[in-house]
Amino acid sequence: METRDTEDHELVRLEADGIAAVGISDYAQDQLGDVVFVELPAVGKKLAKGDEAAVVESVKAASEVYAPVAGEVVAVNGTISDEPGLVNRSPEGEGWFIKIRVSNPAEVGALMDPAAYDAFVKATVAR
């Protein structure tokens, strides 16, 4: 499955039929520390690119998770509401936040591929 990332450390994993799982990158969960709470949107909510899609709280801070692409929320990961530590253990796998039916597939292609994201993180850390 193809993955893409944003400069805000959201992760998009393309799945079948124009659906994308959205979560945070491993780097983001590491920076947050132990995740203790996740607030998810309602299924059916329409999101524009850049809209607040979720809120994640950790022992260090609260942070918004923004929609990396426009679309409609078709699923939320209720498991992370009950077990927020899953975001730390599997941020790029089972710790996804929402699934979106992508409105404009070109928006996904405009995000960073894994190599570009790794370079971005290394440049950010070097500052």
Question: What digits encode the pLDDT tens for the residues 102-114?
Answer: 999 999 999 999 9
99: closest CA among 79, 116, 85? Answer: 79
pLDDT digits (tens, 9 = 90+) for 57-83: 999 989 999 999 999 999 999 999 999
pLDDT score, position 1? 67
- Provide the mean pLDDT of the chain: 95
Q: Identify the pLDDT of residue 127.
A: 66
Q: Residue 56: is its pLDDT beyond 80?
A: yes
- For residues 107 and 102, give the distance between their C-alpha atoms in angstroms, rounded to a whole number: 9
* Assigned CATH for 3-126: 2.40.50.100
The whole-number pLDDT of residue 125 equals: 79
| Res 2: pLDDT | 86
Strands 19-24 and 10-14: antiparallel
